[in-house]
Amino acid sequence: MDEDLDTVRERKKRALAQEKGLGTPASPVYVDGSQNFDQTVTAHEVVLVHYYADGGTGQRLHPVVESVARETFAAVAKVNVVHHQKLALERGVEATPAFEVYADGECQERVRGQVEKDELVELVGEYTSF
């Protein structure tokens, strides 16, 4: 019963945020280069960036990252480091998976390695206003 109540609360919070123009994409945004990256991290109050490589641990985290996009008030951006090596190097990403949290366009935290969904939700929750 508590789980159902929590689900309803989260759904209502998301609806209210979207109604007030505070909504974020319910699915990840795929970054296509440095310019698109900069636009993405500045367009939203809080952004979780997921750096991944095809076939690696980061790719296995796709379902986790997608659920974070649906369940939190942070936008989620995904960067394929194989296709965007220059961007990854500019950001100091040396291995995947890696995550960064941006708040108001500035990188606040970095996490490397495989993480659980609850850890990501808690991490972005520290920066969201809901």
pLDDT tens-digit series, residues 17-72: 555 545 677 888 899 888 889 999 999 999 999 999 987 776 788 899 999 998 88
Q: For residue 64, tell me if it sits in a domain.
A: yes
Q: Is residue 3 part of a domain?
A: no
- Look-up of token digits 């090596």: 85
**17 membership: H or E segment, kind and range:** helix 2-19
Q: How many domains does the chain have?
A: 1
**Is 91 inside a domain boundary?**
yes
Lowest pLDDT segment from 52-61, 88-97, 118-127: 52-61
Task: Examine residue 1 and state whether it is found in any structural domain, yes or no.
Answer: no
Q: Is residue 19 part of a domain?
A: no
Q: What angle do the packed helices 117-125 and 62-71 form, to 10 degrees?
A: 40
Q: Is residue 46 part of a domain?
A: yes
For the cut 80, the answer to whether the pLDDT of residue 103 exceeds it is yes
Q: Is residue 2 included in any domain, yes or no?
A: no
Domain at 106, CATH number: 3.40.30.10
Q: Can you give the residue range of the structural domain that contains 52?
A: 24-125
pTM > 0.85:
no
Residue 110 pLDDT more than 80?
Answer: yes
The answer to the question of residue 18 being in a domain is no
